[in-house]
Amino acid sequence: MTLQSIMDEVRNLPGTGEVIAVIDPATEEQITEFTDGGAKAVEEAVSRARESFEAGVWHGLPGSERAKILWRAADLIDEYATEIAQLDSINTGMPFVQAHSIVGTSAEFFRYYGGWCTKVNGIAHDVHMTGGITGAHSNMHGYTLKEPVGVVGLIFPWNGPIFNACAKLAPALAAGCSVIVKPAEETPLSALLLVKLLAQAGVPDGVVNLVNGYGHTAGAALSEHPDVDKIAFTGSTEVGKKIVQVASGNLKKVMLELGGKSPVLIYDDADLNTAILSAAMGIFVHSGQGCISGSRIFVQRGVYDQVVEGIAAIANSLKLGGPKDEGVHIGPLISQKQLTRVMGFVEEGKRDGVEVVAGGSRIDRPGYFVHPTVLTDVRPDMRLYQQEIFGPVVPIMPFDDDDQVVAMANDTTYGLAATAWTSDVGRAHRLAKRLDAGTVTLNCQMVFDHAMPFGGYKQSGWGYEHGREGIEGYMKTKSVYTQI
């Protein structure tokens, strides 16, 4: 499988809707194109998934067999790491080295969840009730069964195509589900290669089905389909709410990993060099298009000027460019739409009196590049303080004490992640309890582990990915009573 063969194959995927151009965001040139699969492709994919599920070709296998296939998939992803990284870097604009390291992390999802195939079991219960409608319950035994939830639609965004695909596919398959994969319309390439690798690893026909297309066509059709048992979605909070509405038709289960506006707290007793570098890279890496990007920075007043200067200096030193340029730290935004959106926030901020300490403009070259941008004099009522920008733009605000900064940090509808930098260990752990976020990092930032649950508080999501919670999200629990 070569890069060119994937580009050609995506062009020939069945579809009946609009032809969608796949763009290299570093050059604005078209890489390939495909046809929106729309509701028809969804219908066919759901029917194949249902058939495979009812036939038990996958969940009927012993867990140890499913595990071997998932481990083989991990090895194949590693084997094709260069090709996958090339596809994701040309398709998202991220530096190749970064894309390559993400492939390794993504393969690990299959190793990690392969291990769970033999370890998610129900439990035995003693039955204590001594009376009831049907009379006395004596000599009874109870136990639970863990069963796959069924046919699941996996919908995810463009910001880390292979990562987002593997984070959902690995636990869904480990649980025994049959799936329909709907990648973002901007980034259809690596998902196609992944689906082929899963088939090569031994996942039976009909268990993994790919549908490409726009969100409002293919994504919406999948979300409202009456024969889909669950939607696992990663994307914006706005779309997450739409999915909840249409999913209510058959009351399908919904798992949501949504947006964030994650606060980073830097105290005056922190290791400032490390905090400044991590906070800067925590927003600028991948041009701020990470769900857990630290997109609001709060600095204790005594070191405020020093931290602002430090982060601005890093912003000014970063080299932007495409995957083919030398020595690049960060790439472009994904699309013209995102560029317009990000610059809209910056221009509005300027009009509202925000001070631009670094960046504040797009780069004068082809591609959707925005200078890493540092803003001060930002007020909490501003849109750029409250809303997810998803670009390399960060407001930095001063604070005086714990109560004040906790109130400011929690003053948003999001609750995905939060970070605190302080050498006071007690304070760090008190903050971990008080910060309203599904993930809190103390004296470190942008960390993740396959075994640690990941989910959003407030409007950042429902349910969890990763860890034991990740596979349990794709299972249901049955209670069995038996007379003995």
By CB under 6 A, is residue 438 in contact with ligand NAD?
A: no
- Cβ nearer to ligand NAD, comparing 176 with 461: 461
Q: Binding marks (x or -) toward ligand NAD, 263..292, rule CB under 6 A?
A: ----------------------------x-
Percentages (nearest 5) of helix, strand, coil residues in the chain = 40, 20, 35
Q: Among residues 143 and 214, whose Cβ is nearest to ligand NAD? A: 214
| Region binding ligand NAD by CB under 6 A among candidate stretches 73-81, 126-134, 216-224, 441-449 | 216-224
88 touches ligand NAD (CB under 6 A): no
Using DSSP's 3-state secondary structure scheme, residue 401 falls into coil
Report if residue 412 touches ligand NAD, rule: CB under 6 A: no
| 216 counts as binding ligand NAD under rule CB under 6 A | yes
Size (the chain), residues: 484
| Binding-site member from 37, 148, 206, 259 for ligand NAD (CB under 6 A) | 259
Return the C-alpha torsion angle 247, 248, 250, 253, nearest 10: 60
Is 153 one of the binding residues for ligand NAD (CB under 6 A)?
no
Which DSSP string corresponds to 60-83?
A: TS-HHHHHHHHHHHHHHHHHTHHH
Nearest to 402 by CA among 373, 447, 432, 375: 432
Measure the CA–CA gap between 380 and 396, rounded to whole angstroms: 11
Whether 29 sits among the annotated catalytic residues: the reply is no
Q: Which stretch binds ligand NAD (CB under 6 A): 81-89, 203-211, 212-220, 280-288?
A: 212-220
Q: Does 456 bind ligand NAD (CB under 6 A)?
A: yes
Q: Which amino acid is at 445?
A: Q
The C-alpha angle 280, 281, 286, rounded to 5 degrees, equals 130
- In 238-293, DSSP assigns E strands to 253-257, 263-266
Q: Mapping DSSP to helix (H, G, I), strand (E, B) and coil, where does residue 435 land?
A: coil
Q: How far apart are CA 305 and CA 312, in angstroms?
A: 10
Q: Smallest distance from the beta carbon of 305 to ligand NAD, in angstroms?
A: 31
Whose CB is nearest to ligand NAD?
A: 215
257 given a catalytic annotation: yes
Dihedral sign of CA atoms 11, 16, 17, 18 in order: positive
Provide, rounded to whole angstroms, the least separation between the CB of residue 376 and ligand NAD.
Answer: 24
Under rule CB under 6 A, residue 467 binds ligand NAD = no
In the chain, what is the straight-line distance between the N-terminal and C-terminal CA atoms, in Å?
57
Given the residues 83, 186, 257, 472, the one annotated as active site: 257
Binding site for ligand NAD (CB under 6 A): 155-159, 182, 184-185, 214-216, 219-220, 223, 234-236, 239, 242-243, 257-260, 291, 388, 390, 416, 456, 461
Give catalytic residues, as residue numbers: 257, 291
